[in-house]
A and B are shown apart, each in its own frame.
Chain A
Amino acid sequence: MAQITLSGLRHSYSPNPQTPEDYALKEINLDWQDGGAYALLGPSGCGKSTLLNIISGLLVPSHGQILFNGKDVTRLAPDKRNIAQVFQFPVIYDTMTVYDNLAFPLRNRGVPEARVKARVTEIADMLEVSDILRKRAAGLSPDAKQKISMGRGLVRDDVNVVMFDEPLTVIDPHLKWKLRSKLKELHQRVRATMIYVTHDQTEALTFADQVVVMQDGDIVQIGSPVDLFERPAHTFVGHFIGSPGMNVLECEMRQGQVLVQGHAVILEGMATGDGGKTQIGIRPEFVRLGPGGLPATVRKVMDVGRHAVVEAMLGKVAVKAVVNGPVPEIGASTGLHFDPAMTRLYRDGRIASTAGGRR
């Protein structure tokens, strides 16, 4: 287990990169604590898999360093780094039994057979695959195969870090939930540093203590799931996390007042900075409908089960609100109330209001 430091990491797949667009990773500086559960979250093509492959050693970065416990491993081969990785599609050795699959990483390192047996039995127990240990791995279902892949990652107790590259992609939805909680439980039991790469916010937020949100090769925000949800540092994070995403509305700044479609809105705190394009951000969860407030017309109502998402037109812009209980009719006039403590200001996409009120 190890503390992982990424310093000044940049990577380009083209041999002589010219513009920032040539870089798949722009400039990454990160510190990950020993034993933490981290998630790398971002849309496809944001560079998260590149970053993962650099950490595992499958890729050598164009610039920068990776340190495990302060030791430079940037140019070390994957098998010398003592790491484990679980891939998007289950990788199993077809001709071996489940037991031999799990024992493979240990046997390759010359671990005595008695110790192999103890570890495999322990891991099989944790993953609840003890009853199929003698079976050929080829005939298993995809989720069982992925469990075996995870098991191979966890079987060595001296690994620096276990990495998961979108491991639940091929798993049926009803089993995803089971495997996700299994993974969380495993982390609590083995206490290895774990990095989980995904584009699925639910997976990232349920698994990780700290989520790193990436976009176009850049880190946009690092924070706990609650931080990301309540106070997105960038409108991208606001959009990307939450269902539906944050309402981001163009606004004007006039004499210290924030005007959205000509109506004054109260922010959480003071606006910082100057100039640029200004927007306010408010989560649909913190928009309340009722008499008074900003005048709006209900345009759409989507019932998503536990609550309804109401889309109302405030002047020319649509605002979404999460409504528990009775929903207004389409076409009805209503008032929008933004919770001031949850209303953020963004300048050119970055947060530009000081935290105030309740947090």
Chain B
Amino acid sequence: MKAVNQRAWFFVLPVLLLVAFNALIPLMTVVNYSVQETFGNNLFFWSGLRWFEDLLNSERFHAALGRQFLFTAIILAIEVPLGVIIALSMPRRGPWVSVCLVTMALPMLIPWNVVGAMWNIFTLPDIGLAGYFINETLGIPYDMTQNPMAAWITIIAMDVWHWTSLVVLLAYAGLVSIPDAYYQAAKIDGASNWAVFRFIQLPKMKQVLTIAILLRFMDSFNIYTEIFVLTGGGPGNATTLLSIDLVKLALGQFDLGPAGAMSLIYFAITLLVSWLFYTLMTKDDPK
């Protein structure tokens, strides 16, 4: 048998350690919790798949999951087309390009919790600029702390404000990479604006849009901080999305077992939907 030089393993070791500490070990603790029952004093009992069964049959989980999907679907349906429209109407060259880009990037530079706090103050009906304006000047009753519909409109508006820029910047990057000759050829071929969008711009943006949709899906599906600060999941449970529910379960009620099970199911759903998105969107790409 040929002697194999095993020294190569040493070079892989640092990465292995890093991945172990930042991903594998934390994940395994969660797996560990998810199959046990906890009592104080570090007493653990084996509970098998009970937490998973409980959770999958729980009304509360169904409701949170439903709200989560609804939220993600709404913001994707708004942010992606809106982002593309803004990118299309941005100048391609000249001094206004950098002005537009910086303006677009600003919301993304603001920390999540600050965004939540900003929007909270902004929309309070008594002292918030928008809240006061809508209630007093427009005369439309609007109170996101009391009315579930108002709360939903507020969290969606906040996310659109915060993250549409990401779609804009990615779509814009796709657009500026299109050589002028394409537009000139389309002009000469007598193509309408719609045909230019459909046959030149959209195909060229497809790859960056795939990434934009994936990122926006994952981020919105895992959204926590902004909504926690803005509505805290209320009024009632109206804006209690999955992550907020999870934190309530894990840190509020200290139910580590069910919370562990929920984390794993949450993770599995995110992974599965991302994979589905990616596969569907890249299935007819030329290899």
Binding site for B on A (CB under 8 A): 56, 58, 77-79, 83-85, 87-89, 91, 93-96, 104-105, 108-109, 136, 138-139, 149, 152
Determine whether the beta carbon of B195 is less than 8 Å from that of A108: yes
Contacts of A138 in B (CB 8 A): 286
Nearest Cβ distance between residue B206 and chain A, in whole angstroms? 9
Determine whether the beta carbon of A84 is less than 8 Å from that of B195: no
Which single member of B184, B188, B191, B203 contacts A95 (CB below 8 Å)?
B203
Determine whether the beta carbon of B188 is less than 8 Å from that of A139: no
Contacts of A93 in B (CB 8 A): 199-200, 203
Nearest Cβ distance between residue B67 and chain A, in whole angstroms? 37
30 A-B residue pairs with Cβ-Cβ distance under 8 Å, sorted by A, are A56-B188, A58-B187, A77-B187, A78-B184, A78-B188, A79-B187, A79-B188, A79-B189, A83-B188, A84-B188, A85-B184, A88-B181, A89-B181, A93-B199, A93-B200, A93-B203, A94-B203, A94-B204, A95-B199, A96-B199, A104-B189, A104-B191, A104-B199, A105-B190, A108-B190, A108-B195, A109-B190, A139-B286, A149-B185, A152-B185
| Closest 5 pairs (CB-CB, A-B) | A108-B190, A91-B185, A87-B181, A105-B189, A79-B190
Contacts of B199 in A (CB 8 A): 93, 95-96, 104
Main DSSP-derived SS at the B contact region: helix
Contacts of A139 in B (CB 8 A): 286
Main DSSP-derived SS at the A contact region: mixed
Contacts of A94 in B (CB 8 A): 203-204
Determine whether the beta carbon of A108 is less than 8 Å from that of B189: yes
Q: From residue 187 to 229 of chain B, which have CB atoms closer than 8 A to chain A? A: 187-192, 195, 199-200, 203-204
Q: How many residues of B contact A (CB 8 A)?
A: 17
Determine whether the beta carbon of A136 is less than 8 Å from that of B286: yes
Is B278 among interface residues, defined by CB-CB distance under 8 A? no
Is B179 among interface residues, defined by CB-CB distance under 8 A? yes
Contacts of B286 in A (CB 8 A): 136, 138-139
Determine whether the beta carbon of A89 is less than 8 Å from that of B189: no
Residue of A nearest to B284 (CB): A136
Q: Which of B179, B195, B199 has the most CB of A within 10 A?
A: B199
18 A-B pairs besides A84-B188, A85-B188, A104-B189 with CB distance below 8 A are A58-B184, A78-B187, A79-B187, A79-B188, A85-B185, A87-B184, A89-B181, A91-B179, A91-B181, A91-B182, A94-B203, A95-B203, A104-B191, A105-B190, A108-B191, A108-B195, A152-B185, A152-B189
Nearest Cβ distance between residue A194 and chain B, in whole angstroms? 15
Q: Which of B181, B182, B204 has the most CB of A within 10 A?
A: B181
Nearest Cβ distance between residue B159 and chain A, in whole angstroms? 31
Contacts of A91 in B (CB 8 A): 179, 181-182, 185
Nearest Cβ distance between residue A246 and chain B, in whole angstroms? 35
Determine whether the beta carbon of B184 is less than 8 Å from that of A108: no
Q: Give Cα A78 to B187, complex, Å.
A: 6
Q: Give Cα A138 to B199, complex, Å.
A: 12
Q: Give Cα A170 to B7, complex, Å.
A: 47
